[in-house]
Structure 1
Amino acid sequence: MVLNDCLAPIGRLGMAVVLLLAYPLFKVIYNLYFHPLANVPGPPSWSASRFPFVWALLKGTIVHDIEKLHRRYGPILRIAPDEVTFSKPEAWTDIFQIHPDHQQFLKDPIWWKRQPGQPDSLLSAINPESHARIRRLLTPAFTPRALRAQEPIVQRYVSLLIERLHERVSEAEDGKGVEIDIAPWFNYTTFDIFGDLGFGESFNCLQHSRYHPWIALLFNSVKAASFVAAARFYPLVEFLLMKCVPPSLKKMQMDHYQQIVDKVQRRLNWELERPDIMSHVINKNGEIGLPIGEINATFMILTTAGSETTATVLCGTLNYLVTYPDKLAILVEEVRKTFHSGDEITLEAVRNLPYLNAVISEGLRLCPPVPWMLPRRVPVGGDTVCGTWLPGGTPVSLQVYSLNRDPAYFHSASSFLPERWLSEASTDPNSPFFHDERRAVQPFSVGPRACMGQHIAWAEMRLVLTKLLWTFDFEAIEGKKLKWEELRTFLLVEKKPLEVRMKLRSISG
């Protein structure tokens, strides 16, 4: 009897251990065969556990891994036990647009919620009313009318870019040009432009031909954000991760944020005679229309969203142009026949160059600055996406990179062919691009959260490419060609050096 009493606790402990060990197996079986998403196509390993998704996210290969899975399993893909992603044009409407008698798909807090104790920003505001309140105040700063008033600022920094590059190219003595990694120069330009438009002061990257320390730290923080998001799928891991952050790293993060706070504060204390983005936050009485915390957080986000993304597309587009010299030659001819001097190159003058617009559209297709539209949540009660009913709370996302390169929607989908965007491609039934799903390419998203800055992004891309090609000749360097398809993604694209050979334009050009 005494022996039985002694063994009883051991038996209960053993049973607990067995149940603990068996739980993961039961969970896998449930996910594969009994989960509400069990009928959605996808690889068994990803459907059974969140781990393959997290591993791909941490490696930076998630965009390419999911593209391969889409090609195998189709445009509707289960990428985790409770998550579905899409590579269909209809997903833009079903997920991101607002429909009568349907609830809105809200941002997934796993990805979008603000850090504890931090204010909401334009990006992190999950509540539609909060987002609309912030957006309503900022929208006038990004209209075509506002852009016309901002043109002198944009022109100043693009001209400075040309001047700095001209200095380096002029150093070549053999007439063969110089080899330059042009990728950082695009970042210098776009960050300087936004610094002036947003805060009334540049980051001075072009002035000093190097990154401002704030921007250099920004690139590492974007990668770190992927790790933070991965940890949120495992609350205990997130808790331990937050506890293990060293004080020095916390201080670095605060210093990073404080630099934007200081820029905002200086701008609020200035009276500028020219309009900028911040001028729309301040009313006629000098009062700010948002809580100061929301302004700081929003302008920190806008600095990245308004700069890094545009630089990514410029980098990718020029990379494809030098890789496809026949397409580069067509664009150079259009630019140099249209303009007889650099002074003629204005935002209005470059707006309607057909081949330039086609080149940028193709660059946006193949090099989307945001390759993966992060998840929204299916509203309570469930809803249908691309003909598939999903239960409420299901995270759903759209794979831009996969969709834009899908042979089912684009002729020669992986090739850089700007001709697919010319008007005759959509009107001539004999064109190989006649059946291309051009509406599938939505680089600035759609719906109430579509990018406000698309007008200025287009203006910057047109002006930078036009002035570069009017001034310089470019060509690829054998053995140093950048393969865009091999770049990793940590929320944003991790760019590598784009080394090109540059020289002053030939007289015949």
Structure 2
Amino acid sequence: MTTELRGEGLRSLLNDHLAVLAIGAVTVYASLRFVYLSYLHPASHFPGPKLAAISNLWYAYQHLTGRYPWAVEKALKKYGELSPEPCSPDIYNKQTKNLEHFVKVDVAIGFGDDGITWEKDPAKHRQMAKKLSPSFSVKSLKALEPIMHNHIDKFVQTIKTYGNTDGGIELKIWTDWVAMDMAADMASSRELKQVQDMKSSPLLTIFWAFNFFITVNQVFKKFPLLSPLKWAFLPFSVLFSRTQIERVNRDALEGRIESRTQMQHPDHFEQLLPANAPIPTKREKLHLEILVSQLFLGGYEPVASQIHCAIMFSLHEPETLKILVKEIRNAFNSYEDISSDPLASLSYLNAVLMESMRLTVNVATGLARSSPGSEVDGNYIAKGITVQYAHFAFTRSSAYFHDPHKYRPQRWLPTTHEHWDPAFQEDATDSFFPFGHGPRACIGQAQAWRQMRLFVAKVLWTFDVEMLPDQDLNFERDFKLYAMWEKPEFWARFHEVAPSARDSQKD
């Protein structure tokens, strides 16, 4: 009995010693890590929040609350402003033969193929961009324009019936419907018919259900050991729907492959798999599926967000809306006359869209890149350090934009325009690239411009739009950013304008 007690005592003592050693080892490791990250790491001399320097917890918290762009803006104000040039070009424009030096970091979700959007290898990305570029040529976009008109016209006709009710319509969901219908049709001739049915497709529903999870997925890349826990943030219903959506997407792809010799109108898929190409392998089909999805989603969300915000912001500024409507209605004698080429010269329309994109910057969480070991704005960044440019903070800095938190389209007008305001003459408008720049610039930006101009012009030519009363909407409070902007509901009423009333408004 005494021997057993002694044995238990020795084991207890040994366990106590092991516990002390373990705690001591963790303490020493944490202390050394703190010292290294705070004082010895290659990026330690850059100022910023101390928690962000020693841990990924700051990064995780700001992203998961949807406030990361605001947090970066606040940090820059506290620790030092940023400069628009040469910082952004240093990161995104440095290249050799169209191959960027600062390589894209891993942001893929894990579908088995990175497509073009998530592809990290500059050579592979360049190869895909070169293959796709004919789809976005002026000739191709002119051929696609009837598709844009078709979907916008359906929207206008439907709103004539339902937009003038007492309750009006919720603009966010309707712009989602028309933009996604348009994008799916142009990408692969896929018909979603959301505007026609006045109902969200399962694809749209699951797309927004994944918005927060995409951010979760990116955050958990910073915590590899905890990565399996990310699936807890995705409801079971969404996991189930994902399987269904993937099956529907594959069926749509198979149908598009089979019908490629009998297409009624052009689309981007033609460039990916010409009619005379052999049937793709299983691996090639996966690549095509990812590419088509990226073209489709890239053609949908930025356009939906900007046509919604351009109208919403303008409704909050009556004088802006008045000038915009007048410019559009003066430019065309009939609805049928509205087309992309003359719209490109409407200065105020372009200014409104640029200002909307300035306030709600695309990819405002930053375009993260891995440094090759190079200088950025005169500072050497060691190889492997992740860098990105704070586009959102730049556009909201009073050092570069006058009255930066206000919606002021006149800042983008030429100096000869009657509504140009010299108060904005020092604005750094030449340093703002809403679709990115360099080898990774958005390949579909010309298409997006056509879609946005056509939608805003046709809607405001046809309707007098009013914001429903008692809507307490505030951008700083009500918008959040995960993978995409989470926008609040916004209700508006659309009054069809009689031809006589429109004619009387013209100069």
Using the size of structure 1 for normalisation, the TM-score is 0.89
Return the offset for 1:372. 2.6
CA distance in 1, matches of 2:155, 2:309: 18
> How many equivalent pairs are there?
488
Q: Structure 2 counterpart of 1:154, which letter?
A: M
Give the equivalent residue in structure 1 for 2:491: 499
Give the equivalent residue in structure 1 for 2:133: 139
CA distance in 2, matches of 1:452, 1:244: 32
Return the offset for 1:393. 0.6
Whether 1:353 aligns to 2:342 is: no
CA distance in 2, matches of 1:248, 1:433: 50
| Alpha-carbon displacement from aligned partner over 1:310-351 (angstroms, at most 9, x marks no partner) | 111111111210111101101111111111211111122212
Whether 1:281 aligns to 2:287 is: no
Whether 1:28 aligns to 2:20 is: no
Aligned partners of 1:366 and 1:416 also within 8 Å: yes
CA distance in 2, matches of 1:429, 1:212: 43
Whether 1:105 aligns to 2:102 is: yes
Give the equivalent residue in structure 2 for 1:47: 53
CA distance in 2, matches of 1:351, 1:459: 8
Return the offset for 1:446. 0.8
SS of equivalent to 1:193: helix
Give the equivalent residue in structure 1 for 2:306: 313
Return closer, same or farther for 1:8/1:437 CA change in 2, 3 Å cut-off: same
Return the offset for 1:383. 1.0
Return closer, same or farther for 1:415/1:136 CA change in 2, 3 Å cut-off: same
Aligned partners of 2:221 and 2:227 also within 8 Å: yes
**Which structure 2 segments of 5+ residues have no match?**
1-5
Return the offset for 1:24. 2.7
SS of equivalent to 1:332: helix
Return the offset for 1:204. 0.7
Q: Structure 1 counterpart of 2:17, which letter?
A: G
Aligned partners of 1:365 and 1:404 also within 8 Å: yes
Q: How does 1:198-277 map to 2 (within 5 A)?
A: 198-241=187-230, 250-270=239-259, 271-277=262-268
CA distance in 1, matches of 2:65, 2:165: 40
Q: Structure 1 counterpart of 2:267, which letter?
A: D
CA distance in 1, matches of 2:124, 2:390: 27
Aligned partners of 1:325 and 1:475 also within 8 Å: no
Using the size of structure 2 for normalisation, the TM-score is 0.89
Give the equivalent residue in structure 1 for 2:3: none
- Which 10-residue stretch deviates more, 416-425 or 467-476? 416-425
| Alpha-carbon displacement from aligned partner over 1:174-219 (angstroms, at most 9, x marks no partner) | xxxx532111111111111111111213211111012111111101
Aligned partners of 1:425 and 1:434 also within 8 Å: no
Q: Structure 1 counterpart of 2:385, which letter?
A: T
Give the equivalent residue in structure 2 for 1:420: 411
Aligned-pair RMSD on alpha carbons?
A: 2.7
Give the equivalent residue in structure 1 for 2:462: 471
SS of equivalent to 2:305: helix
CA distance in 2, matches of 1:40, 1:23: 23
Aligned partners of 2:194 and 2:201 also within 8 Å: yes
Return the offset for 1:8. 5.5
SS of equivalent to 1:155: helix
Whether 1:410 aligns to 2:401 is: yes
CA distance in 2, matches of 1:215, 1:244: 19
Give the equivalent residue in structure 2 for 1:148: 142
Q: How does 1:62-141 map to 2 (within 5 A)?
A: 62-75=68-81, 88-99=84-95, 104-109=101-106, 112-113=107-108, 115=110, 118-141=112-135
CA distance in 1, matches of 2:237, 2:358: 41
**Which structure 1 segments of 5+ residues have no match?**
77-86, 173-177
Aligned partners of 2:216 and 2:233 also within 8 Å: no
CA distance in 2, matches of 1:360, 1:245: 34
CA distance in 1, matches of 2:155, 2:463: 12
Whether 1:370 aligns to 2:370 is: no
Return the offset for 1:11. 2.6
Return closer, same or farther for 1:181/1:430 CA change in 2, 3 Å cut-off: closer
CA distance in 2, matches of 1:279, 1:39: 51
